[in-house]
Amino acid sequence: MSLASLANELRGQSGLLAKRDIRPAASVFNHLPFPHLGRSGLLGDDAALLPAQSGQLLMACEGMHPDLVAEDPWFAGWSGVLVNLSDIAAMGGRPLAVVNSVWTQEPDSLKRLLEGMNCACDRFAVPMVGGHSNQQSPYQALSVAVLGVAQGPVLSARLASPGDELWLLVNRSGSFYRHYPFWDAATAANPGLLRSHLSLLPALAADGIVHAAKDISMGGLCGTAVMFAESCGSSITLELDAIERPEQVEEQAWLSCFPSFGFLLAVAPTMTGRLQRMLQGDSNLICCRIGSFGSGRCQVALQRDGDVELLWDGNEGLTGFACD
């Protein structure tokens, strides 16, 4: 084979041409997320260079539901970043960097996904530092991961214990996003407020006010309580009459929705006064005691007007990560 023919064959190989799929991401995200790292910190290398950290590293990853990716790619991109930031915060950490993986054949969908992720990264001041792009995929999919650092105590859900009180911390200033069960208090919010709220969990951990937490995810408040109980091995009683919610929002919708900022907190009774004092000045936030952790078998029960109904029996298992 002649040199010219060899060059032509190599020039047309699919593995090389597929690298063009990276271009849309390169046109959206900041190429130098950490300027003090100099040229070695520029995006496009084999791995992202991140600044050294003190403390314990935290890693979170979420895959977005295919229907959401197809129907509303901007919101899927936004949510892919947001849910991971919440996971890091729930552990008492602060986010450091984001990566993503995208599969699609639709240029407009890819554009919207990237714009949604970039908007969230900008609003929360967390850089996108790398990822994977495939524009030849027969399906649409998005996965996002976040690296964070806990410089103080880690809020592991496994640290809740009998005698702790269960508190709800959630942003009331929102509305349901389209027809989805997502309570959106973020897309139109002031970026400074978003960052301030996200920093509350590590601050509560550092002050020793909260020692265990879970972010409210797709299972809603009740589903997250089940995961909390499974993690710590204790029983949880949810006092439904104590759960505050925004006006005009029905109880079942509130108990099962996925809020953009919402957490369940394990708080020692001696710390509840400090918790209330720390958060009382923010009218956007609901912060209320909604139940307790108890001894005995792992389960979650609903209580109202003296009546009790078992929601979940720990013997059934759920995630498979039960407390041993």
Where do the domains of the chain lie? Answer: 17-40+49-150, 157-316
Phi, psi (rounded to 5 degrees) for 162: -55, 135
Assigned token pair, 166 = 């269960």
User: Hey, which residues does 300 pair with through a beta bridge?
Assistant: 236, 312
Q: State the alpha helices, DSSP H only, in the chain.
A: 3-11, 14-17, 23-26, 66-71, 73-90, 107-124, 191-198, 200-206, 220-232, 251-256, 272-279
Assigned token pair, 270 = 């001696």
Decide whether 17-40+49-150 matches 157-316 in CATH topology: no
Per-residue pLDDT of the chain (324 residues; tens, 9 = 90+): 899 999 999 999 999 999 999 999 999 998 999 999 999 999 999 999 999 999 999 999 999 999 999 999 999 999 999 999 999 999 999 999 999 999 999 999 999 999 999 999 999 999 999 999 999 999 999 999 999 999 999 999 999 999 999 999 999 999 999 999 999 999 999 999 999 999 999 999 999 999 999 999 989 999 999 999 999 999 999 999 999 999 999 999 999 999 999 999 999 999 999 999 999 889 999 999 999 999 988 999 999 998 999 999 988 778 888 765
Q: How far apart are CA 225 and CA 302, in angstroms?
A: 11
Q: What Rg value do the Cα atoms of the chain yield, rounded?
A: 22
Q: Which of 212, 172, 209 is nearest to 90 (CA)?
A: 212
DSSP 164: P
Residues 238/243/249/252 CA torsion (nearest 10 deg): 10
Q: Yes or no: say if 190 and 122 are a contact pair by the CB < 8 Å rule.
A: no
Q: Yes or no: say if 154 and 205 are a contact pair by the CB < 8 Å rule.
A: yes
Assigned token pair, 185 = 């208090």
C-alpha angle 102-106-109 in degrees, rounded to nearest 5: 65
pTM: 0.94
Q: How far apart are CA 67 and CA 11, in angstroms?
A: 37
CA distance between the termini of the chain: 64
Q: How far apart are CA 272 and CA 305, in angstroms?
A: 24
User: Hey, which residues does 265 pair with through a beta bridge?
Assistant: 167, 213
Pick the CATH number of 17-40+49-150 from 2.40.420.20, 3.20.20.70, 3.30.1330.10, 3.40.140.10: 3.30.1330.10
Residue 102, C-beta contacts closer than 8 angstroms, at least 6 positions apart: 25, 110, 113, 114, 131, 132, 133, 134, 141, 142
Which is the CATH superfamily of the domain at 157-316? PurM-like C-terminal domain (3.90.650.10)
Q: Yes or no: say if 163 and 212 are a contact pair by the CB < 8 Å rule.
A: no
